[in-house]
A and B are shown apart, each in its own frame.
With several copies, the nearest count.
Chain A
Amino acid sequence: MKLEISSGSDSLGIEVSVSGNKGQIRIGGREVDYDCVPLPGGQYSLIIEGRVYDLSVDSDTDVCFVSGRRGSHRFRISDPRRLNPRQSMEEGHAGLQRICAEMPGRVIRLLIGRGDKVVLDQGLLVLEAMKMQNEIRAPKAGIVKEIGVEDGRAVGTGDFLLSIE
């Protein structure tokens, strides 16, 4: 099985002939011996040339998140044998910036109105979450195009707050 594995701008070719827990893998043009054993709870114990990696691996089709004691990587996996239907299509509108809630909370106070001109870093609204009030500031200068919330409104992660153009 040949795979193309990438994380951010780094990319690697991997060729693995899977046969049980132990085997050889070709990575970045080099052969390495590995010993990879599943642990209870979706973790893996990987030993490569004596080095121990105690990893959590969570994968979903062509995305894989690997985390261990010394850091973590999110990989995108391309398998030439399979189609990779999902392509990155996360481009926003050129000039329009949508601001969404990154966590659940409650809107305490809107500091601007629709059509207001805002400068970079200007306070837009105050959101309370986990007993702390956080002021959401403008990521860029522009005009407030749309407002999706009002004072007192509870919001969930990803909920649309407002947009700036």
Chain B
Amino acid sequence: MFRKVLIANRGEIAVRIIRACRDLGISPVAVYSEVDRTSLHVRLADEAYLLGPAPSSESYLVVEKIIDAARKSKADAIHPGYGFLSENPRLAAACADAGIPMVGPSAHSMRIMGSKTGARSILLRSGVQLVPGTYRTLNTAEEAAEEARIIGYPVMLKAAAGGGGKGMRLVESEDQLKHEFQNASSEALGAFGDPSVYLEKYIARPRHVEIQVLADRYGNAVYLGERECSIQRRHQKVLEESPSPLMDEDMRCRMGESAMQVLRAAGYENAGTVEFLVDGDRKFYFLEMNTRLQVEHPVTEAVTGVDIVQEQLRIAAGDPLTLRQEDIRLRGWALECRIYAEDPERNFLPSPGVIGRLIEPQGPGVRVDSGVYQGWEVPIHYDPLVAKLVTYGSDRNQAIARMCRAIHEYRVEGIKTNLEFFADLLRDEEFTVGNLSTNFIEEFLGRRGSGVEKSSELFHAHAIAAALAYGERMRAPQSAKPSSMVSGWRLSTHPGGSAPRQGWKR
């Protein structure tokens, strides 16, 4: 097993990987940009090396700086996490050149799957069902429009080089296509360093179901059941679960077998995720393979009992996979809510800032993978993911109930989060019966009520607290303000219930 592993990432996933390292007796090494000097992942690591300024293009995305830090720390492996360089074959290749194993597939497998169009062409011959669309990348809006006419609207415009919703657009008309082509392409360039986009037929109200796979270099491979990730906003997953309410054992086997075919076609080693779209007739289509650790891997860990990051490290160290397919049994149910620094009341506008107060939930069936701490400032430069809140229950209802309870306990102040949004979503009947699709959130926002019920009891209680605090202030000397807060709390970051709305609209 490795002695020291460098984690080429930040935030909650860097913390997650640090934990897996410790569990295996590996010394974790962090890297950080200038604004991340006091980030949680730096605080929890054994060693930490500065990469550069805040923009990821000058820090977390610079292959050479990562390799340099690995050399300086004498790390004997690099774990890329998700995002950043995790699916970039250049890192894998540079690692191979430097003789430092990367925890993940080979550059070759990455290239095959990293090009969504390349993957599609290879799998054309495999018998795996694909979403209809283009098998090559499109250079201009005009070219795209031409293909779209063949496929038929609506179509999905997608980044050829990456997943996670970046550079992805649903397009319903040629006008819109021409308008969005540039946006998608520029977003793809920003996120993946590659502006290529391609088209897929839009499947109406699809479900997004994916299979987690593990494979070693000796030809052993297993799939760890599925995750339902249909609940997305702007093509970004926000709530995932395992198993899928849609699934039965037969469909799970068929989808798992398809995933294994994809895996073999890519000559794949390490952990990966094969994503499928499922249509209204429960037919499923290969969407893409993510050649890295997935954000939502904890729900699979909860129901299978397998630590996926530990398995990744073992596989990368050359250990043969000891899990066999017949050992993998899903027990219970797990949900994950992605807690973002964003304001659902203002169309989910990102809400960076200082976390004034933080109380995280605990207790049975609750796992929090957080990347923040009280008093720390969530920087504006990166994804606004604050934490992943995962609950486990013996069945779906218990997992949902525990999620509601955990959200009830969770308090994040100073920045806005989507916690209350989840509290409402989890009570939505379509959700509780498991009637999901990637259009879920849009439809939910439409039918969602005013949200906050007016309770005069609560209003009175809060008014009493306000009056008492006012009285205390009046009695206290001017210098001693009653608020004994940690640094950085600003009243102005609160939602301005009565503040005038500014002209921000999307």
Residues of A within 8 A of B (CB): 1, 3, 5, 7-8, 10, 12, 14, 16, 18, 25, 27-28, 32, 34-48, 50-60, 63-77, 79, 90, 92, 97-100, 102-105, 108-109, 121, 126, 128-140, 164
- In the complex, are the beta carbons of B44 and A54 less than 8 A apart? yes
Chain B residues near A51 (CB-CB < 8 A):
46-47, 457, 461
Question: In the complex the two chains form, is A74's CB within 8 Å of B357's CB?
Answer: no
Distance of B173 from chain A, by nearest CB (Å):
16
Q: Are the C-beta atoms of A58 and B494 separated by less than 8 Å?
A: yes
Residue of A nearest to B44 (CB): A54
Known: A41-B357, A66-B466, A74-B494. A100 touches B503 (CB 8 A): yes
List of B residues within 8 angstroms of A99 by Cβ:
502-504
Instruction: Check B494–A130 contact: CB distance below 8 A.
Output: no
Q: How would you classify the secondary structure of chain A's contact residues: helix, strand, loop or mixed? A: strand
Query: Could you tell me which residues of chain B, from 449 to 493, have a CB within 8 Å of some CB in chain A?
Result: 452, 455, 457-475, 482-489, 491
- Measured between C-beta atoms, what is the minimum distance from B84 to chain A in Å? 11
| Selected contact of A128 from candidates B190, B457, B473, CB within 8 Å | B190
Q: Please state if B38 and A39 are interface contacts (CB–CB under 8 Å).
A: yes
| Chain B residues proximal to chain A, CB less than 8 Å | 29-30, 37-38, 42-49, 72-73, 166, 183, 186-187, 190-191, 234, 341, 346, 349-352, 357, 373-376, 380-384, 408-409, 411, 413, 452, 455, 457-475, 482-489, 491, 494-500, 502-506
Can you offer 27 A-B residue contacts whose CB atoms are under 8 A?
A: A1-B467, A1-B471, A5-B466, A7-B463, A14-B463, A16-B471, A36-B465, A39-B375, A40-B487, A41-B375, A42-B485, A58-B483, A58-B485, A64-B470, A73-B458, A74-B494, A90-B499, A92-B500, A98-B502, A99-B502, A104-B380, A109-B186, A126-B183, A130-B350, A131-B190, A132-B350, A138-B503
Are B503 and A164 interface neighbours, CB within 8 A? yes
Is the Cβ of A139 less than 8 Å from the Cβ of B505?
yes
Which 7 A-B pairs rank lowest in CB-CB distance, beginning with the nearest? A40-B375, A99-B503, A64-B466, A139-B503, A66-B462, A130-B350, A42-B483
Partner of B166, one of A35, A60, A131: A131
CB neighbours of A63 from chain B (8 A): 491
Q: CA–CA, A51 to B73, complex, Å?
A: 9
The number of inter-chain residue pairs (CB within 8 angstroms) is 246
Q: With a CB–CB cut-off of 8 A, which chain A residues contact B485?
A: 41-42, 58
Across-interface contacts of B499 in A (CB, < 8 A): 90
* Chain B residue at minimal CB-CB distance from A158: B502
Please, how many angstroms separate the alpha-carbon atoms of A65 and B357 in the complex? 14
Among B341, B463, B469, B488, point to the contact of A40 (Cβ < 8 A): B488
Report yes or no: A46 in contact with B470, Cβ–Cβ below 8 A: no
Whole-angstrom CA separation of A19 from B467 in the bound complex? 13
A130/B381 in contact, CB under 8 A: yes
Are A71 and B48 in contact (CB-based, < 8 A)? no
B48 / chain A contacts, CB cutoff of 8 Å: 47, 50, 52
- Chain A nearest CB from B404 CB (Å) reads 12
Contact A131 B349 (CB under 8 A): no
Name the B residues within 8 Å of A40 (CB-CB). 373-376, 484, 486-488
Nearest A-chain residue to B494, judged by Cβ: A65
Residues of B within 8 A of A39 (CB): 38, 43, 375
Find chain B residues with CB under 8 A from A45 CB.
37-38, 42-43
CB contact between B464 and one of A14, A79, A131 (< 8 Å): that residue: A14
Asked if A130 and B380 make an inter-chain contact with CB atoms under 8 angstroms apart, the answer reads yes
- Contact between A5 and B484 (Cβ–Cβ < 8 Å)? no
Given contacts A10-B459, A68-B462, A102-B346, contact A44 B498 (CB under 8 A): no
For A35, list chain B residues within 8 Å (CB). 37
Contact A32 B464 (CB under 8 A): yes
Expressed in whole angstroms, the minimum distance between the Cβ of A126 and any Cβ of chain B is: 7
| Contact status A59-B468, CB under 8 Å | no
User: Provided the pairs A45-B42, A52-B47, A108-B186 are in contact, do residues A134 and B491 lie with their beta carbons within 8 angstroms?
Assistant: no
